[in-house]
Structure formats: C-alpha cells, structure tokens
Amino acid sequence: MTETAAGHQDSYPPSAEFAAAANAGAELYERADADREGFWAEQARRLHWHTPFTQVLDWDDAPVARWFADGELNISYNCVDRHVLDGHGDQVAIHWEGEPGDSRAITYRELLEEVSRAANYLTELGLVAGDRVAIYMPMVPEAIVAMLACARLGLTHSVVFAGFSPSALRQRVDDAQARLVITTDGQWRRGKPAPLKEAVDEALAAKGDVPSSVEHVLVVRRVGTEVPWTDGRDLWWHETVSAASPVHEAQPFPAEHPLFILYTSGTTGKPKGILHTSGGYLTQTAYTHHNVFDHKAGQDVYWCTADIGWVTGHSYIVYGPLANRATQVVYEGTPNSPNEHRHFEIIEKYGVTIYYTAPTLIRTFMKWGREIPDAHNLTGLRLLGSVGEPINPEAWRWYREVFGDNKTPIVDTWWQTETGAIMISPLPGVTDAKPGAAMRPLPGISAKVVDEEGKAVQLGETEANGYLVLDKPWPSMLRGIWGDMDRYRSTYWERYAEQGWYFAGDGAKLDTDGDLWVLGRVDDVMNVSGHRISTAEVESALVGHPSVAEAAVVGATDPTTGQGIVAFVILTGATTPDDTLVDTLKAEVSKQISPIAKPREIHIVPELPKTRSGKIMRRLLRDIAEGRELGDTSTLVDPAVFEAIRTGGN
Ligand code: WT7
C-alpha cells in the first residue's frame, strides 16, 4: 500500500475475502490475450442462441464490424423468458420505487407477461421488424417493458430522455422516422405531476404541411391528470396492452439486427443517432455486468441510478442486468424527494448490495453532508461503481468511506454511448484501484494513449497531449450513425485512419505503472452532470432567440456538476438588455433543448475573441470563465477584445 505526500492512500487493493469470492480473477486477462476471438465466443455463450454462431468477428467491412453474424437470438428471450424457463419465474426482476412512495415488485414471470402483452399489441398495431419506435417516458416499469417488447419483435427503439424538449423529441422522431411514440400522461417531479403527453402533442404537430412520421401515440397512465387526446392516433396502454394476450413466442433475429438508436451530442448542433445491434451488444453488456460489478444472480440487489434515456440505463438497467437475471432497484424520482435521505432509505429498504452512480451525484451527497448517509444502515453495500466523467480523488475516497465503510471496491468505469458497454475499469477482485483512474482496458478490450501522430505517449507524461484510442474492434461497438455513415467515418475513424483506430474524443494519460487516467473531452463537447452536451447545440439555441446575434459557449469547471455551461452572447443591434434578459435566454435554452442544457452563466459581451480565420477561441473563453490568466492570445485578431469582455461581461 502506498501513500501520497498528503498522507492519502493512493492505491486500494481488494480485500482477500472479496478477491476469493469474485467472479473475475486475473486469469481472465491471460485468457483474452491468448485468444481474443475465442474469449469473446466464450462470453457470447452466456446467451441463448436460437441458431449458434460459427463466426466470431468479421472486420472486412471496417469500420463496420459484424460479430457472431451467422448466429440468431432474441434479446428479450435472453433477458426474460429463459430465466422463467430455468425455474426463476418467482425471482423479483424489478423492485420499482415510485417518487410519491408507491412501489411494485415485478417478478421475471410477471415481466414476461407484460412484455408479451406489449409485443402482442405492437404486432396488432401493424409494426414489423425493422420499424422504429420512440420511447419518451419517465422511469416507470412500462418503459422497460416497452424496450423489451420492441427488442422482442425486432423493432428498433429510440429512447428519448423525458427531460428533453418537444423540439428535441421531434428532431429525433424525424431522423429515425418513428412510426410509434410510447409515452406517459405525465411524470412525478418533486412531489408534483408534470405534463409529458402535451410535449408529445407539441412535438408531433405538423410543421407547415409536413406531418410527422408517427401513426400512433401509446400512453401509459402514470400521474392521472387530464391530457389532450387525438382520436384515432392516441391509445391508452391500460385499454390496449393490458387487454392483450400475455402469451407470445419470441422469434430469433440475426445477431446484427438493429436493436436501438440512441442520440448523443456531437460537435455540431445535430445529435448523432448511435446505432447498436443485438448479439455483440448483449454479449458485452452481460459480460461486463457480471465481471465488473461482480454480480451474483439470486443473491445481489443491484441499483444503477441512471435514467433509461441515457446509454447507462440501456446497458446497465435493462440489457446487461436482465440478461444476467439480476434483482434490481429502479427508482422514479430525484435523490432529494421528499428529502435528501431518499437514496439511503432505498438502499436500506431493499438491501442494495451493488450501487452504480455518477460523480456528480456523489459530490451532491458530499455537499448535503455525511450525517445523512450516516443515519442509515448501508452495510449491505459490497461494491460501488462510478460512471459519466472522471471522478475526482476526493469524491472517490468519500464514496468509499461513507458508502463503502472503507472496504468496498470502487469500479470507475470508462465507456461511451458509442462503445455500448464498459471498456476500461478495474476488475473489483483483482485490481489495486487508484482514486481517479479507470485503470486498465477490460479483458478482451484494447486501448492506447497516443499523441497526434499516433505514437504511444511515455508513461508518466502528464502534460503532453494524450488521446485515448481503441485499437481493436469490440462486440458492443456502434455500427454506425443512423442515416449518416459518412459522419460515422469522419467523426471516429478519420483522425487515425492510417492505423484504423477509433478516436474516442477523450484526453488520457498513463501513469508510471501504466495505469490509465481519462482526463475529459478534447472536442467541443461539454460534460455536465455526466451528460454530454455540445457547445454548438447550446449556441444554436441561443442564436435562435431574436435578441442574440452571436453566441459562444464553453464548459467551465464546476465543483458539483463537473462542468457548468458558460455562454457569451452578442446582442442584436436593436436589443437593449434589461434585468430579465439573461433569465429569458437561460429559459430559451431549457425550452429548446432541455433543462440540463441551461447555462449556469450568460455574459452579454460586445465582441467575441476570434482567430484570423474566424474561429471562436473557446480556450480563451474558458480561461475567462474559470477566472484564469489568459493563455496565448497571439493568434487573435484583436487582443483588446478581452478588456471589453471582462468589463462588459458581468
Ligand atoms: C463520455 C461519454 C458511459 C455512460 C455515461 C456517459 C465521459 C464516461 C467516464 C469515466 C472519465 C468518463 C467521457 C466519455 N466519461 N465515463 N469513468 N471517466 N470520463 O456516456 O454520454 O456517451 O459520454 O463521458 O468523456 O467520452 P456518454
């Protein structure tokens, strides 16, 4: 055990007891190194294949991979039916906890019945394999049922976070040409029902003479408020799905059948529809859930606090855990409804053993004070996970000490919407984890830290630019960007085209032990509370307002959310700013995109710093936003701009 100068322990080995019982041992690395494809074939056999595969990886059409391509399976059968057939029908799949305090325990048998009813009804609606379905729902059990019913029928789902605006929903519905939207009447938010169905109506309203592609809207009743209704188009779940037969036979689909599209922010204003397919995706989500979380079916109570609107919810609430027959907690609300004790009460109530959350929430808990967790019995917890952004060592240590009684392993898991599943993480029974480091690529995964030219960076080099690349295809990798394969190639594969590596968009370093530290995005993508938001998207929402002529947006370090959004705007000539303008503009961004994209600060400035080629120098704006001395201003057209920004910027 080593200590830092500050007297902190800087490396945390697993206890002998944990290591002895862990699912994964060090030999997993050796096995994968010796025969990578053989290793993945073994992992794929965790699943039930209606038609066994004979090929593992086909990379001939790189960068589009085909994994297990001649095999056939049904994702929903793997996540539900087989557990019932194996005699586990009475095991609870989901302990669902509603925000107002209502709860439901759903066994695997009940889940099978619900998914079957939904599959039967979606078939009755005329949906066929390959059709797209948008799911715009809060964290209710029906959202998971809807995803599994789509998967069962080979329908490609596109889950849209229920916090997104009507225009964001419309953009995604249009891009995927969805035939159906599944939603709820409303959602509980801090003790009050908030409308949701209205947002769908607004999203689907004809734009000029262009109707949306959506034929039906299927509505789950959750909050019981009155909702506007379009006869013929709108359908109540409880009148349709609930009345359908609970028996449905799952048909197999090829391993490369599209499973879902999930939109994520890129460096331009238009979100990218990340496409994932079936066999490889389920293989890697199940494999990682088993080994990284050390999950033991029938014993553990697992809780991932994500929302199904993000990839973490897809891979580590729905597909990975259910494939592994997990018993899991799904919670509808925010961590402080009705008060800050809520998460800890839930951990106690259900005896949660594995808890997976984001650094931003850990820092929020730190801010609320440790007397809150200390008032609860958290001794059931035996493993803690983190995802979404680099975790600062202070938060890591606090998490381990306060949640983990200073003994549970913490897995800091690096991955992305595009990677589909965890890529870089400690193995909890093997790795001596360091606070803040994602440590090593998992067995079967290969990553490098390289410079601009693709040369490996020196160990321990911290200041030089190091970029994280993935140099070998992996089973759950994205198969493209929906409708835009050119963008797929240019975004991820152009930078290191010669070497054929995937460019992740993250900076990274290797320490002198060769352990990997992810340092954050190197592109114009911000990370706010673990959510990816592009600067361009926020800029275009601001410029959409009649009083804004130009906008530049940067992510500035924030003690709780990781980054906070700071905008600099130039007003149109006709606008005289008043006290309410900044609030109006913040509200505009919230409305156009989502409350998560709302700027923390908006500065009204007379000019923006630009290079001679007209590019906004975000780096300098970030210096201002973070209150630093300005970096190199030599390439600026007019360095005097800064005085103007500083004095006009408050
Ligand atoms: C970006 C991906 C993966 C699910 C949630 C976010 C950052 C994610 C870590 C981590 C450092 C991390 C990266 C990555 N990120 N996990 N453990 N350590 N950075 O998915 O929205 O696709 O965002 O989140 O910058 O590229 P996403």
| Biggest CA-to-CA distance, the chain | 74
**pLDDT score of 287:** 99
Q: Is the pLDDT of residue 5 over 80?
A: no
Q: Is 522 or 636 the better-scoring residue by pLDDT?
A: 522
Indicate if ligand 1 lies below 6 Å from the C-beta of 417.
yes
Residues 436 and 509: their CA atoms lie apart, in Å, by 12
CB atoms within 10 A of CB 456: 11
Residues 24 and 5: their CA atoms lie apart, in Å, by 33
| Coil/strand/helix, residue 251 | coil
Length of the chain: 650
Closest protein CA for atom 8 of ligand 1:
388
Indicate if ligand 1 lies below 6 Å from the C-beta of 392.
no
Report whether 388 belongs to an annotated binding site. Answer: yes
Average pLDDT (475-483) is 98
**pLDDT score of 21:** 98
Q: Is the pLDDT of residue 650 over 80?
A: no
Using omega within 30 degrees of 0 as the cis cutoff, is the peptide bond preceding 559 cis?
Answer: no
Q: Among 316, 389, 424, 425, say which to mutate for ligand 1: greatest number of ligand atoms within 8 Å of CB.
A: 389
Residues 599 and 555: their CA atoms lie apart, in Å, by 9
**pLDDT score of 644:** 67
Write the burial class of residue 519 (CB in 10 Å: 0-12 exposed, 13-18 middle, 19+ buried): middle
How many CA atoms are closer than 13 Å to the CA of 526, on its beta-carbon side? Answer: 32
417 Cα–ligand 1 center, Å: 8
643 Cα–ligand 1 center, Å: 36
Report whether 392 belongs to an annotated binding site. Answer: no
Question: 589 and 551 in contact (C-beta within 8 Å)?
Answer: no
Percent of the chain with pLDDT over 90: 85
- 552: tokens are 């530049």
| Interacting residues of 369 by C-beta distance below 8 A, sequence separation 6+ | none
Question: 626 and 556 in contact (C-beta within 8 Å)?
Answer: yes
User: Using 50, 70 and 90 to split pLDDT, how confident is the model at 616?
Assistant: confident
User: Using 50, 70 and 90 to split pLDDT, how confident is the model at 49?
Assistant: very high
The number of the ligand 1 atom at minimal distance from the alpha carbon of 417 is 22
Question: Could you tell me which of 378, 385, 382, 368 has the C-alpha nearest to residue 306?
Answer: 385
pLDDT tens digits, one per residue of 321-340: 999 999 999 999 999 999 99
Residues 268 and 265: their CA atoms lie apart, in Å, by 8
Indicate if ligand 1 lies below 6 Å from the C-beta of 413.
yes
Report whether 390 belongs to an annotated binding site. Answer: yes
**pLDDT score of 4:** 57
pLDDT tens digits, one per residue of 414-458: 999 999 999 999 999 999 999 999 999 999 999 999 999 999 988
201 Cα–ligand 1 center, Å: 32
Indicate if ligand 1 lies below 6 Å from the C-beta of 309.
no
Average pLDDT (2-20) is 82
382 Cα–ligand 1 center, Å: 24
Give how far the C-alpha of residue 398 lies from the chain's centroid of Cα atoms, to the nearest Å: 24
Indicate if ligand 1 lies below 6 Å from the C-beta of 476.
no
Residues 538 and 163: their CA atoms lie apart, in Å, by 16
Question: 92 and 110 in contact (C-beta within 8 Å)?
Answer: no
pLDDT tens digits, one per residue of 268-299: 778 999 999 999 999 999 999 999 999 999 99
**pLDDT score of 608:** 87
| Interacting residues of 82 by C-beta distance below 8 A, sequence separation 6+ | 48
pLDDT tens digits, one per residue of 540-576: 899 999 999 889 999 999 999 999 999 999 999 888 8
Question: Could you tell me which of 142, 44, 47, 158 has the C-alpha nearest to residue 98?
Answer: 142
Q: Is the pLDDT of residue 1 over 50?
A: no
Report whether 165 belongs to an annotated binding site. Answer: no
Q: Is the pLDDT of residue 266 over 60?
A: yes
- Tell me, what amino acid is at 304? C
ipTM, 2 dp: 0.99
Indicate if ligand 1 lies below 6 Å from the C-beta of 516.
no
Q: Among 414, 439, 503, 519, say which to mutate for ligand 1: greatest number of ligand atoms within 8 Å of CB.
A: 414
**pLDDT score of 617:** 83
Residue with tokens 């580590």: 316
| Interacting residues of 405 by C-beta distance below 8 A, sequence separation 6+ | 378, 379, 381
Indicate if ligand 1 lies below 6 Å from the C-beta of 139.
no
Closest protein CA for atom 12 of ligand 1:
389
- Tell me, what amino acid is at 353? T
Percent of the chain with pLDDT over 70: 96
The number of the ligand 1 atom at minimal distance from the alpha carbon of 520 is 25
Over the chain, what is the mean pLDDT? 94
Indicate if ligand 1 lies below 6 Å from the C-beta of 300.
no
Residue 143, H or E segment: helix 141-153
Residues 516 and 50: their CA atoms lie apart, in Å, by 39
**pLDDT score of 333:** 96
Indicate if ligand 1 lies below 6 Å from the C-beta of 14.
no
Q: pTM of the full predicted structure?
A: 0.93
439 Cα–ligand 1 center, Å: 14
Closest protein CA for atom 23 of ligand 1:
416
Domains assigned to the chain: 16-412 (3.40.50.12780), 526-646 (3.30.300.30)
| Coil/strand/helix, residue 412 | strand
pLDDT tens digits, one per residue of 353-389: 999 999 999 999 999 999 999 999 999 999 999 999 9
Strand partners, 72: 51, 254
Question: 505 and 525 in contact (C-beta within 8 Å)?
Answer: yes
359 Cα–ligand 1 center, Å: 11
Indicate if ligand 1 lies below 6 Å from the C-beta of 527.
yes
* Angle between helical axes of 535-543 and 581-592 (0-180°, round to 10): 120
- Tell me, what amino acid is at 95? H
User: Using 50, 70 and 90 to split pLDDT, how confident is the model at 267?
Assistant: confident
Question: Could you tell me which of 445, 322, 437, 304 has the C-alpha nearest to residue 383?
Answer: 304
Closest protein CA for atom 5 of ligand 1:
388
Closest protein CA for atom 1 of ligand 1:
416
Q: Output Rg (C-alpha) for the chain, integer angstroms.
A: 24
β pairing state of 92-97 and 327-331: parallel
**pLDDT score of 7:** 67
Q: Which residues of 318-328 are buried (b: 16+ CB within 10 A; e: fewer)?
A: bbbbbbbbbbb
Rounded (10°) CA dihedral 116, 118, 124, 128? -90
118 Cα–ligand 1 center, Å: 33
621 Cα–ligand 1 center, Å: 24
Three-state SS sequence of 219-240: EECCCCCCCCCCCCCEEEHHHH
- Tell me, what amino acid is at 318? V
Question: 435 and 398 in contact (C-beta within 8 Å)?
Answer: no
Closest protein CA for atom 3 of ligand 1:
416
Using omega within 30 degrees of 0 as the cis cutoff, is the peptide bond preceding 338 cis?
Answer: yes
Residues 21 and 503: their CA atoms lie apart, in Å, by 36
Give how far the C-alpha of residue 159 lies from the chain's centroid of Cα atoms, to the nearest Å: 11
User: Using 50, 70 and 90 to split pLDDT, how confident is the model at 649?
Assistant: very low
Average pLDDT (155-181) is 97
Indicate if ligand 1 lies below 6 Å from the C-beta of 336.
no
Residues 393 and 46: their CA atoms lie apart, in Å, by 35
Indicate if ligand 1 lies below 6 Å from the C-beta of 360.
no
Indicate if ligand 1 lies below 6 Å from the C-beta of 436.
no
Residues 306 and 317: their CA atoms lie apart, in Å, by 8
Three-state SS sequence of 548-559: EEEEEEEEEEEC
Average pLDDT (62-91) is 98
pLDDT tens digits, one per residue of 52-67: 999 999 999 999 999 9
Phi, psi for residue 408 in degrees, rounded to 5: -75, 145
Report whether 283 belongs to an annotated binding site. Answer: no
